[in-house]
Amino acid sequence: MSEARTVLNDPGEADFRRGIQGLEEIRELLGRRFVARSEVIQVLLVAAVAHEHVLLVGPPGTAKSALLRQFARLVDARYFDYLLTRFTEPNELFGPVDIAKFREGIYERRTEGMLPSAEIAFLDEIFKANSAIVNSLLTLLNERRYSMGGQMLPCPLISLFGASNEVPNDETLAAIFDRFLLRVEAANLDSFHFQSLLRVGWAGETSRISGSENNLKPRITANELRAVHRRLADFNGFPPPFVALYKDLVVRLRSEGVQISDRRVVKLLKVFAASALLDGRHEVNRSDLAFLRYVWNHKNQMDLIQTIVEPELEVYYAEHPGAERPGTAEIDFEELVRDLERTAARLTGGEKLSDVELFSHLRTLHDLKAAFQALGTDAAKQRIIHLNRLLQFVYQKGPSA
């Protein structure tokens, strides 16, 4: 009885429990506000627990900035947000020089409210940064320190989230790109999400018009997030079979040209542990290896990594049919079926289709096939059989216009 009372009165335990609850509330809230972004949301949550950095890459209009800003608003922490351009100066991020002290021969920046004092940060178009900014960012991201006036000042940064329309091909930006342990593509949504996109998007627009969006309240404090992070120090649930499989995947990825440094191999353990912790587990399992999909260095490596990692995930979900794969909860099976029936009717109705229309319908079929495969249910597998027959019919028939 006394031991239980001690645990209940432990502030660290209380912060941990509130932190876990807050993270789940964030997952649910963002999942309602952003269509088909559950995997991205999961990456953000895990990275925050692991105190690692995340980069979102994708074309304009894919809700990268909106998602990251709303995530930050749900964390009660010192926050810094900035859109970088090639004209951005260091004082815009790190604070202006204190003129009064400079006159006394002391070089010091006023960092209050700036990036060096932030706990959560978002830098949009991060690869637009010039060399003066990049050099300071490297130390801040990796060591949580900022150099000022010959001193290295500690920074309270938990996680920094970056967004970019493209992956940099400039060697001078390779180091800053490497500081992001996890890289996630934010692409335009597949066609079968169209109706959900309109419904959720319209709800978002009306909330902005009415002002109700401003009622968004934090669900977790920075201290609670740190309490969850500290639990990783007690995590030792890396069973030998998992370690052996992890080693095998890393070796295979490296042999295919995917560069994964030893430093990143070790840091990924924090990600796996954070994933297990958020799932209520004291031990990692094969499903946590899904985060290897986000270690690509070039976007053309994404499919390669998928072909290596995905079979291991398929094994896990085949052995655990009750486990829910990230992203499948937001796939409406009935809507997929209706979309398939509409597309099939257009392709088999005898109507002449232009090459553009034919390509569009074929793209829809391939999107639907991927969605059915992700669901993996018996009903979904039956639809895949029907879909494959439809594809075979179309390819044999050829262009109809």
pLDDT score at 2: 39
For residue 31, the model assigns a pLDDT of 92
Q: Which residues contact 22 (CB under 8 A, 6 or more apart)?
A: 219, 220, 221, 224, 225
Label the pairing between strands 145-148 and 151-154: antiparallel
pLDDT of residue 5: 40
Please list the residues that pair with 109 across neighbouring strands.
97
Give the number of other CB atoms < 10 A from CB of residue 233.
8
One-letter amino acid at 383 equals R
> Tokens at residue 332, please?
């409406």
∠ CA 62-66-70, nearest 5°, is 145
What is the CB neighbour count within 10 angstroms for residue 25? 14
- 77: helix, strand or coil: coil
pLDDT for the residue numbered 7 = 45
Write down the CATH superfamily of domain 10-215. P-loop containing nucleotide triphosphate hydrolases (3.40.50.300)
In Å, what is the CA distance from 383 to each residue of 225, 268, 324, 336, 395? 43, 37, 20, 10, 18
Predicted pLDDT at 82: 97
pLDDT in tens, the chain (401 residues): 334 444 445 668 999 999 999 999 999 999 999 988 999 999 999 999 999 999 999 999 999 999 999 999 999 999 999 999 999 999 999 999 888 777 777 778 899 999 999 999 999 999 999 888 998 899 999 999 998 877 889 999 999 999 999 998 888 888 999 999 999 999 888 877 788 888 888 888 898 888 877 778 999 999 999 999 999 999 999 999 999 999 999 999 999 999 999 999 999 999 999 999 999 999 999 999 999 999 999 999 999 999 999 999 989 988 988 887 776 767 788 888 988 999 999 888 878 888 888 888 888 898 898 888 878 788 999 999 999 999 988 887 765 54
pTM recorded for the entire structure: 0.87
Give which of 328, 337, 343 is closest to 376, Cα–Cα: 328
| The predicted structure's pLDDT at residue 401 | 44
The structure tokens listed for 156 are: 């309270």
The pLDDT assigned to 351 comes to: 81
Whether the CB-CB separation of 367 and 191 falls below 8 Å is answered with yes
Q: What is the structure's pLDDT at 98?
A: 80
Strand partners, 80: 121
Q: Which residues contact 89 (CB under 8 A, 6 or more apart)?
A: 132
β-bridge mates for residue 145, sequence order: 154
Contact 121, 115 (CB under 8 A): yes
Q: Which residues pair with 124 in a beta bridge?
A: 83, 163
